[in-house]
Amino acid sequence: MPSFSEVLAYKFASASTDKIDFEISRLRDYCTATIRSLRSRTDAPILWLSFEPIAWPSYGIFDSVSTHSQRDIISYLNSFLSSELNRAGNAWLVDTGICLERVGASHFYDWRYWHLSRAPYSRKACAEIAHELLKHVRALSGRVRKCLVLDCDNTLWGGVIGEDGLKGIKIGNSHPGIAYREFQLAVLELFSRGVILCLCSKNNECDVLEVLRHHTEMVLRESHFSAIRVNWRDKVANLREIASELNIGLDSLVFVDDSDFELSLVKQFLPDIATLKVSRDSPFENRLVLAQCGLFDTHSITKEDGARAKMYASEAMRKQISRQSTNLEEYLHTLEMRLCVAPVKQDDLDRAVQLCQRTNQFNLTCTRYTRDQLLSLLNSDNALLLLLRLSDRFGDYGTVGFCMIKLDAMQAHVDTFLISCRALGRGAESAFLALSIEAVSRKNVRIVTARYVQSGKNSQVKDFYTKHGFPTVSRREEEVNYCIDLQALRLSVPSHFKEATLEY
């Protein structure tokens, strides 16, 4: 702040009201002009460090009751900045105020550097700001973790269940169990945001299940976990299995343990998995280990996110039915699935962006469209943006597929076609393609073209268009192009869907 405005930082009490008002509008104009000028030159994401709150206001304790508060002006400028960035699109305010609160204002600045080189921040402050920036960059590059895999003994509770027994382990509302209870509450916060939970621990499964089912102080229960691997095998094998069972990449996992042995084993053999160490000696810090990591942070949280972890849990029930059915077709019939394809509306745009950013496996081209790009396509007449919703008798999967078809005279080009991995293996992809093409056929289209671009993770869909009757017209190393006369396409919704609607 001092570098930005001497009037607001140092002369607040001495300056006239006019002078201060002038300074506020100067800063507003500066922000607006800078953001506009940046945006006119590039679509790249903009990260803007907010103005820091003033820890020692000029009017001292009077500042908080004053109608003309120095601190209020700073927060006003920050909310102004935030709305300008929001308007520019693909631009975010990085909250330096929250960094200052964490470090503490007395440790946040090193005035010697400020006086010498106009660099006000201490080393601690720089580290905290850098970490906050990293969280934004991670979210922007789509490297967001989806699943938290937890150890049990000395992680979820204090002590060893196999030795200490149900009554001996530490978990509860008073010391020392409270540290573990608060850790579990932090896990539950992540679950409510949509983070999938799993267990991976070396115990007797029955001991752990007894705690999950019957210990009165537990926050987390069996129903919160989407995969449980409690056995005596090595954790590397168990983690691999968890990823494949949930149909997510290893780079979506975060593994938490108190044992250096387990953590370094995982780091060595599964470097894609992020690891967090909780402390056996100072468990009171463990809640913060989770709260500070930022590994699951994203720029938007949709209602799908909130429900996701629950959907994974109901998946376990589906699996049970699947074992009872004799063949897949019969099983799919018993699910009583319903799907609905509808154009993207303003309200769904965030979910469409999220699908574009995050879907890796069932994604034909893996073009990572930003919110702005999709918004301008949505407002144009040259593109059709469709979303797929899916539900079955166990619950709602939510919005699980996105398709974008570009229209050019009588030609339609399937630019993007993707389905979230939690909806795979149910024939939804064939139904979605059939209904998307049906939507296009109402547009006087004659020719349909499509494209597969290899990305490293999407090899399972390399034959998708071929299987659905699209002839190949050209093939380069990483790219295959398809083209077909609309009349020649024979697509249909598989018969096991109880209901399939196209709201178009």
Contacts to another protein by CB under 8 A: 112-113, 115-117, 119, 123
Nearer to another protein, 33 or 127 (CB): 127
Per DSSP (E only), the strands in 144-234 are 147-150, 196-201, 225-230
Q: Which residues of 89-127 are buried (b: 16+ CB within 10 A; e: fewer)?
A: bbbbbbbbbebbeebeeeebbbeeeeeeeeebbbeebee
Q: How many Å apart are CA 332 and CA 311, to the nearest integer?
A: 17
Nearer to another protein, 30 or 111 (CB): 111
**Whole-number minimum distance, CB 117 to another protein, in Å?**
5
Q: How far is the CB of 113 from another protein (least distance, A)?
A: 6
Cα four-point dihedral sign 250, 251, 254, 258:
positive
**Closest CB to another protein among 26 and 112?**
112
Q: Are 92 and 299 a contacting pair, CB within 8 Å?
A: yes
Task: Spell out where 176-288 has E strands.
Answer: 196-201, 225-230, 253-257, 274-277
Nearer to another protein, 127 or 488 (CB): 127
Which of 14, 106 has the CB closer to another protein?
Answer: 106
Nearest approach in angstroms of CB 121 to another protein is: 11
Helix (H, G, I), strand (E, B) or coil at 311: helix
Which residue number, 28 or 107, has a Cβ lying nearer to another protein?
Answer: 107
Tell me the closest approach of the beta carbon of residue 106 to another protein, in angstroms: 14
**Min. distance of Cβ 44 from another protein in angstroms?**
25
Q: Judge contact between 169 and 161, C-beta under 8 A.
A: yes
The H-or-E segment that residue 156 falls in is: none
3-state secondary structure of 66: coil
Q: Taking a C-beta distance cutoff of 8 angstroms, is the pair 435, 341 a contact?
A: yes
Closest separation between CB of residue 263 and another protein, Å? 27
Comparison of 19 and 115: residue with beta carbon closer to another protein: 115
Least separation in angstroms between CB 262 and another protein: 32
Counted residue by residue, the chain has a size of 504
Q: Calculate the alpha carbon distances from 88 to 46, 168, 336, 455 in Å.
A: 9, 57, 44, 30
Q: Under the phi-then-psi rule, with left for phi > 0, alpha for psi from -120 to 50, and beta for the rest, what region is 159?
A: left
H and E: helices and strands count for the chain: 19, 15
Nearer to another protein, 115 or 303 (CB): 115
Apex CA 414: angle with CA 411 and CA 415, to 5°?
Answer: 115
**For another protein, the closer CB: 126 or 178:** 126
In the bound complex, what is the minimum distance in angstroms from residue 2's beta carbon to another protein? 16
End-to-end distance of the chain based on CA atoms, in angstroms?
52
For the bound state, the minimum distance from the C-beta of residue 111 to another protein, rounded and expressed in Å, comes to 8
